[in-house]
Structure formats: structure tokens, C-alpha cells
Structure 1
Amino acid sequence: MEKGQQIFGIRAIIEAIQSGTEIDKVFIQKDSHGELMRELLKVLKEHNINYAQVPVEKLNRLGNRNHQGAIATVSPISFQDLDELIVSLSEAGKTPLFLVLDGVSDARNFGAIIRTAECTGVHGIIISKQGSAPVNGDTVKTSAGAVFNVPICKVDHIKDAVFHLQASGIKTVAATEKTHTDLYEVDLKEPVAIIMGSEDKGVNPSVLKVVDEKAKLPMFGTISSLNVSVACGAFLYEAIRQRS
């Protein structure tokens, strides 16, 4: 099965999951019932696959009216294990530069961020299995193909990923306006993971409580925030400036 395509129908999706196909997200018709649908929901939960219950009109717009109440998107990439990636970087003697996306849900923003991450030599991008932007055609196009060059790790919870990074000797720095520390005061030369929040809410407060440092970009205009992909670029290029 080609990556990036869609799978239509409940039974087809169940069989794809059980055969090991890398499913990015499943859309299920809202208020849909039946034994087969219950089986699908069970399989999705067992494999921790992101799904959303949507109106039938949404399913129809996805391109095939013979969907039987469920459509799955096949990821165009294979996701990597975070622990294995950290170990491989250590063995290669590299100073890790990770990017953690806490709730970035727009596919185009996600693609733009991946493109910048690839250009700045980011070693890995960490996203949550739930609530993150899908890796779809828009992501691939906006990233200019960079999505195939940067390792992407899916985790159950961003907060747990932060703890794991810290335990691995990687400093965590959250981008937030809720601090007096400018980005340019933070040491980014050491192993570091930069955490960027969602477009509307920023980094989750529970994550902010456990990070090592917080940093903000100085703002001089009347608008109080930047687009997340632009802010991400500013943070990453400051890391490159310090490391050069």
C-alpha cells in the first residue's frame, strides 16, 4: 500500500492496522454504531491511533462517498522511536537539537516548521499522538519535501517526553511570553530541546511547570505574538548562531 493514500471502510482499516500499516489518523462518522464500529474503536485504542468523530459531510468531502463511516489516512513517513534516536545521536557524538511541538494542529504550519527544522539541522521533531497536525499532503507540500529528511517521533504525552529528554541530559527550553528571560539570554549550545506551543494557546501550563528554562522573543509592535512557524525559525536560528 502506498504511503500518503486513504483507506475507506471499517473492515479495511482494521485489517490495515493489524497488518502494521502506519496509520496517521482515522476519521469516524459521528453517532455511528454497530459491532464492526465497536471493533474498530477497540483496535484504534489498542494501537493508540489518533481518531476523530466527524459529521458525514466531512467524510464525503474527503473524496469517496463509499466510506462506510470511516476513512483512514496512511502516513507518508515512518515515525521513529524517541529513545532509539537519542541513543543514536549519543553514539554518533552529536550535540542534540530537538524540536518539541506541543499542540501545533495546522498542517501548513507543521510543514513550514519541518522545512525550517531541516534547514537548521534539527535532529528530531517530537509531536503528540493526540491533537497534533496530521502528516498529510499539505504537510509534505509545505515542507518542500523536508518531512522525508527529519526524524519525527510520536509520543503519548509531551510532558512525559520532556521528562525523558531531561533524564537523557537534554535541556528543555519552552517558548513562552510568560517569562522575563529573552531568548538571547539562554544557552543553546548544549544538548537542548526547544518546545513550541499551539497556535492559539501556546505551551501547555503543565509542560511549562516542568521545563528547565523558558524564553521569549522581544516584541516591539502592537501585536503580541508571532505565527508559530516564524517564532520557531527565530528560536532555531539563534541556536545555530550560538553553535556556529
Structure 2
Amino acid sequence: MEKSSRVYGIRAVMEAIKANEPVDKVFIQRGLKGTLSRELETILRKNGIKATYVPVEKLNNLTKNNHQGVVAQISPVSFYELEDLVEQVNNGQTKPLFLLLDQLSDVRNFGAIIRTAECTGVHGIIIQKKGAAPVTADTIKTSAGAVFRVPLVKVDHIKDAVFYLQASGVTVVAANEKTDKEIYNVDLSGPTAIVMGSEDRGISPSTLKAVDEIAKIPLLGEIGSLNVSVACAVFLYEAVRQRQ
């Protein structure tokens, strides 16, 4: 479901967060003071929502209305609850295929991954509330509109999603170069979730410890890694190959 892209005003932004609206980022005027602004900052921290402090001119460009020093960016898509999506997929006719993105931060990589996920029949993409790339106009464009076709889930911690999927009968496979096992020697034909890491840090150590399998893509050149969206495509299409 498409939503309004921005909310402005301190109280309006706080109410949007309390109402579980998909707030991706909040812009706050530099030097803003007062009880309400401190209350807003507390709510942002509790909900893991990123705040960016900007000059007032930036806020004036975002909206011509009385913003009171605060403008929130709302995701244009609605997010699923993990439990609801897993139950829905498990009740379907096809074997589940999920994708977990561990704090992927580049919006264009995110869009490219969503596009590939839609083309490979992924049932849902799970991201972390804090530190994950937001759904922006660039994400939508790069995904070629696939962002409106693939269910998205936000969780507090990727590791917790791993445990929940495992308890639901899903094998979790992490993409990581620090292993001897290649992707072609891992069974992706059953209920599977693939974990991809962030562009700079990869998959967090705690998540790597929790997964069932770790697999790598063979690299025959001198460069030591692939772009994350390309690596994700390799993993997903290997899953497609095994399932056909």
C-alpha cells in the first residue's frame, strides 16, 4: 500500500511513530531545543529510527508547511509482521524462499536486490529496523517497481529472525567468503532463507554463529568480492536451479 511520503511537526511525527507508521528517517533542525524535542529524540532511540540533524533550509525545502523543526520520511510501502508472513508462506503450495539483509545500507543495492528477489520468486525480504537502507524513490526506481510486489518485513534483530525461521522449519544459509563450502554444494531446494551482509561489514558475527550453513561463491579473478546485489543474484538463481 502506498503512503504519504512525509510527516512534519514534532507532535505529528511522534504520533506517527506511536501508530507504527513505517518511519524510515527523521530530519531535525540543528540546535532545536525544548521538552518536546527531547521527548522525540527519546522515542527515536527506543524505536531505532535514524535522526539526521540539518539546517533549517533543508527542512524548508522538504516542506513548505510549518514543520516546527522536524520532518519525517515515511516509507511508501507497508511492512509485514514476520510471524504473519511465515505462516502465510508455510500454508502455500511452494517451498518457502526468504531473503535476510543484515544492515544493507545502499538504497540502489537494496532496489536491485528486490528486483532480483521478485524475479526468483522470493516470498519475503527481512531487514533490520536500525541501520537498514530505507525504501526511497531510488529504491523504487532501481527495483523497477518490484518493491510493491515482494513482501518486506522489519525486525529488531536479524539474529532473532534467523531463530524464528529455523523454528518454523526453514534452513538458514549465510553468504560469506570465509568458508570452504561453495554455494553449489549446499542444498537450497527445501525451505530456505539466505542471509546477505552489509556492503562494508558483511554479516554480523552473532548472526553467522546462528545460521545452519555458510557458503561462498567461487571467485577466479584477482578481486576478492562481488557487489552484494550481484552476489545475492547468484545465490537466488542457484536456489531456482536446484528447485526446477
Change (3 A) 1:183 1:62: farther
Matched with 1:134 is 134
Shift of 1:25: 2.3
| TM-aligned CA distance change 1:41 to 1:145, over 3 Å | same
Offset, 1:5: 1.6
Q: Confirm or deny: 8 A CA contact 2:183 2:235 kept in the other structure.
A: yes
1:186 has 2:186 as partner: yes
Residue number in structure 2 paired with 1:120: 120
Distance 1:59 1:130 in 2: 23
Matched residue count:
242
Q: Which amino acid counterpart does residue 54 of structure 1 have in structure 2?
A: Y
The AA in structure 1 aligned to 2:221 is: G
Looking at structure 2, the residues matched to 55 and 70 of structure 1 have their Cα atoms a distance apart, in angstroms, of: 10
Q: Mean alpha-carbon deviation: is it higher for 23-32 or for 98-107?
A: 23-32
**Which position in structure 1 is the counterpart of 2:109?**
109
Unaligned 5+ segments in structure 2 are none
CA RMSD of aligned residues (A): 2.0
Per the alignment, residue 235 of structure 1 pairs with 235
Displacement of 1:57 after TM fit? 7.1
The answer to which of 217-226 and 26-35 deviates more is 26-35
Pair 1:26 & 2:26 matched? yes
2:95 counterpart residue number: 95
Find the aligned partners of 1:35 and 1:218 in 2 and give their Cα distance.
Answer: 55
Q: Is 2:170 the partner of 1:173?
A: no
* Residue type at the aligned position of 1:205: P
Unaligned runs of 5+ in 1: none
Aligned twin of 1:53: 52
Instruction: State the alpha-carbon separation in 2 of the partners of residues 34 and 9 from structure 1.
Output: 14
CA deviation map 1:169-227 (0-9, x unaligned): 10110000110110000000011100000011111111111110000000011110111
Could you state the TM-score of these two structures normalised by the residue count of structure 2?
A: 0.91
Q: CA deviation at 1:62?
A: 5.9
Distance 1:157 1:58 in 2: 35
Shift of 1:11: 2.4
Q: Distance in 1 between matches of 2:226 and 2:58?
A: 33
In the other structure, the counterpart of 1:63 is: 62
Q: SS of the counterpart of 1:209?
A: helix
Q: 1:196–1:30: structure 2 CA closer, same or farther, 3 Å change rule?
A: farther
Residues 44/108 of structure 1: CA separation in 2 closer, same or farther (3 Å cut):
same
- Report the Cα offset of residue 61 of structure 1: 8.4
Mapped to 2, the partners of 1:73 and 1:171 lie a distance apart of: 35
Q: Give the direction of change, closer, same or farther, for the CA distance of 1:206–1:59 in structure 2 (3 Å limit).
A: farther
Structure 1 residues 42, 201: closer, same or farther in 2, change over 3 A? closer
Displacement after TM superposition at 1:50 (Å): 1.4
Asked if structure 2 preserves the Cα contact closer than 8 Å seen for 1:25 and 1:49, the reply is: no
CA contact (8 A) 2:8 2:72 kept: yes
Q: Check conservation: 1:59, 1:69, Cα contact below 8 A.
A: no
Q: 1:94–1:44: structure 2 CA closer, same or farther, 3 Å change rule? A: same
Aligned partner of residue 15 in structure 1, secondary structure: helix
- Give the deviation of 1:14 after TM superposition: 2.2
Could you tell which deviates more after superposition, 71-80 or 148-157? 71-80
- Report the Cα distance in structure 2 between the residues aligned to 1:92 and 1:140, rounded to whole angstroms: 27
Matched position secondary structure for 1:229: helix
Is 1:56–1:69's contact at 8 Å kept on the other side of the alignment? no
The superposition leaves residues 90-111 of structure 1 with CA deviations (integer Å, 9 ceiling, x where unpaired) of 2223311000000100111100
Please give the TM-score of this superposition, normalised by the length of structure 1: 0.91
Aligned-partner Cα distance in 1 for 2:50–2:234: 33
Identity of aligned residues (%): 58
Task: Determine helix, strand or coil for the equivalent of 2:141.
Answer: helix
Quick one: distance in 2 between partners of 1:45 and 1:113? 28
Question: Structure 1 residues 19 and 201 mapped into 2: Cα distance closer, same or farther (>3 Å)?
Answer: closer
